[in-house]
Amino acid sequence: MNEWPLWEVFIRGQHGMSHRHVGSLHAPDAEMAVNAARDVYTRRNEGVSIWVVRAADITASAPGKKGPLFEPSNAKVYRHPTFFDIPDDVGAM
Amino acid sequence: MYTQDVRTDSKPVERRAAPTPEEQAFQARIDADIRVEPKDWMPEAYRKTLIRQISQHAHSEVVGQLPEGNWITRAPTLERKAILLAKVQDEAGHGLYLYCAAETLGITRDQMYEQLHSGKAKYSSIFNYPTLTWADIGAIGWLVDGAAIMNQVPLQRCSYGPYARAMVRICKEESFHQRQGYDIMMKLAQGSEAQKAMAQDALNRWWWPSLAMFGPPDAESVHSAQSMAWKVKLNSNDELRQKFVDQTVPQADYLGLSVPDPKCKLNEETGHYDFGELDWDEFYQVVRGNGPCNKERLAARVDAWEDGAWFRDGLMAYADKRSARSAAE
């Protein structure tokens, strides 16, 4: 028997936040995936919008490439506002 | 509900004399409370242990629907029926969260089903007991879900990310299960003599199997050390069992019911309840498939799977046909 494909489920909560990954499920097609996601992931009013994406269509960064991918941002601490000392006399900034 | 950590293969995880640098780095990350994620390197034994533990946990949730489902059509009021339906639906959801978590470790859903249906995989022994009266639905929510919460709350901090996250969702919902059960017990305990007797009878039958849910005594739990080091098990069986007894006995007192154990009483010195010896022979009998309902439970799962095959295939064929059609357009 062929197994139903895997879908990743994203839900937008009540308060205007972005869609957030909540889990996955198996369904034969996108429409059924949305219906099943409603039952599996929103039984307690968790969301106002559902996205489903076939898991096979997602490209993920490799854990082994963490260094080359994320190191450059570690080296640029001046991107954070706390890098700069502003005298208290200047007031809130 | 939950998994009992009963090994189906008796071979213990082999410890090599000297861990490799990879294994050392892995353990260091776990010690630092850094979560392990699906694509990270992990020892093969860690992967296998988790697949077994999470899939057993998932099977328990799914099979756990059966004893309660027995009372959906016979719930005493429409409200109780709606509540029980919602509860049983949650159990299906919990099974699905957990199957998904296990799938991230490289096993497929169908493989897990096959292991359950062939009897290779186990599920919690508690679900092999029958639900004879409505009070059993109360006792299951109060005791069985109560014991499950005891086990699952610490697992929210376990080392494997997808399992820990599934556990967060499950714990949020599990509290409703326990409270609805206790609510049923309160109603019966405050009712007529016959109703109170029914509640006491349910407590008598479910008490010991609920204590057995925490698994064999620590002295016999040979695989615990490695699981503890990997943080896929965070408390010992006896520790959790004691915690459960301490929490539950006063709740029984409040109902005016008594646990079926003459040795159970508060030890003033330790501040904990002492309690009698469990019947481990019975426990192992049930685990080996000789409990009152093992055959019935498994047959119900196998029938549901086989009788649903034409429907699953039909939906897939329809989806394939539609995508072929839209590709042609």
Q: What amino acid occupies position B226?
A: Q
* Residue in chain A lying closest to B317 (CA): A28
Q: How many angstroms separate the CA atoms of B209 and B279, rounded?
A: 9
CA dihedral B225, B231, B235, B238 (to 10 degrees): -30
pLDDT at B11: 53
Residue B263 confidence (pLDDT) above 80: yes
Task: Give chain B positions within 8 Å (CB) of A32.
Answer: 315, 319
pLDDT at A1: 54
Q: Residue B19: pLDDT band by 50, 70, 90 thresholds? A: confident
Mean pLDDT of B275-295: 94
- How close does chain B come to A3, measured CA to CA in Å? 7
Task: Give chain B positions within 8 Å (CB) of A63.
Answer: 37, 39-41
Q: Do A24 and B39 touch (CB under 8 A)?
A: no
Residue B294 confidence (pLDDT) above 80: yes
Q: Say which of B37, B89, B323 has its CB closest to residue A43.
A: B89
The SS3 call for residue B264 is coil
pLDDT at A65: 78
Mean pLDDT of B203-227: 91
Residue B4 confidence (pLDDT) above 70: no
Q: What is the pLDDT of residues A6-35, one digit of tens each?
A: 999 999 998 888 999 999 999 999 999 999
Whether B48 contacts B107, CB under 8 Å: no
pTM of the model: 0.91
| Range scoring the smallest mean pLDDT among A24-33, A76-85, B189-198, B298-307 | A76-85
DSSP B51: H
Residue B256 confidence (pLDDT) above 90: yes
Residue among B155, B190, B176 at smallest CA distance from B53: B155
Of B7-16, B218-227, B296-305, give the range with the top mean pLDDT: B296-305
What ipTM describes this predicted complex?
Answer: 0.83
